[in-house]
Amino acid sequence: MTKPKKKAKPGTPVVRRDGETIVIDVPMNLRRRSGRKEVVLPPDAVATSALPVKPPAPLALAVARAFRWQEMIEAGEAESNSDLARKLKLDQSYVARTIRLASLAPSIMEAILNGQESGGMSLLGLRRDLPLLWQEQQELAGLEEK
């Protein structure tokens, strides 16, 4: 005597065998938004996200850009800041100010990438008044030395 199969609740994934193949049915719909496909789950489904809930902060993006641009110069993809600016079709002074962010103190970098920068730390301020010494940078950013 075989057991009667349990019916899954609507919107619940179902795992079943089809011969030697395992089939997983996941109820979802696809919807286009701004030229992209988006998965639309049933109303009672719980979604977990592997992506950050909020987009990266402008400071974190600028730091990432600074490291990428510095890497491009070191790899020989550009000879100088002005050559890089020309290739990227950006203003040379913008590129030069942004690349300076690659020399931030490690504690400031960590705070920025963790989203824990102090309220007084701004992208404009760091691009404009960035001292060379890490201790002075930490004082400017309002962070204590670790």
pLDDT for the residue 82: 94
Dihedral class, residue 3 (left if φ above 0, else alpha if ψ from -120 to 50, else beta): beta
Whether this model's pTM surpasses 0.95: no
Instruction: Give the number of residues written for the chain.
Output: 146
**Chain centre distance of CA 15:** 34
- Single-letter amino acid, residue 120: G
CB of 56 closer than 8 Å to CB of 112:
no
pLDDT in tens, the chain (146 residues): 555 555 656 567 788 888 889 988 877 788 888 778 887 777 766 666 655 556 678 888 999 999 999 999 999 999 999 999 999 999 999 999 999 999 998 988 888 888 777 766 777 877 777 888 888 888 877 766 54
Query: 1: exposed, middle or buried (C-beta count within 10 Å: 0-12, 13-18, 19+)?
Result: exposed
